[in-house]
Amino acid sequence: MAKLKLGPIADDKPVKITLELPANLHRDLVAYAAILGREGGQVATDPLRLIVPMLERFVASDRGFAKARRDVLRAVGD
């Protein structure tokens, strides 16, 4: 394998996706945004802005995913 000065270039460009949410999930996001705004002394945020931090927290806290990801990265690095 060649020894390059640059490592992998992170693809940090945001990716736009469109999805449909079940109505009950959307209602829950609206309620969550309202509660979050009230507890923070602010106006309720757009419920769609909750999706990214919720997904990030979910993925970060999934131990099974973290272990599987480490195993895959370790196998690729070998």
Number of domains in the chain: 1
Residue 67 within a domain: yes
Does the pLDDT value for residue 68 go beyond 80? Answer: yes
65: left (phi over 0), alpha (psi -120 to 50) or beta: alpha
Residue 44 within a domain: yes
> What range defines the domain where residue 40 resides?
23-77
- Report the percentage of the chain scoring pLDDT > 90: 26
Q: Which are the contacts of 1, defined by CB distance < 8 A and separation ≥ 6?
A: none
Q: What is the pTM of this model?
A: 0.70
pLDDT of the residue at 8: 64
Residue 40 within a domain: yes
Residue 55 within a domain: yes
Residue 8 within a domain: no
Mean pLDDT (whole number) for 36-61: 86
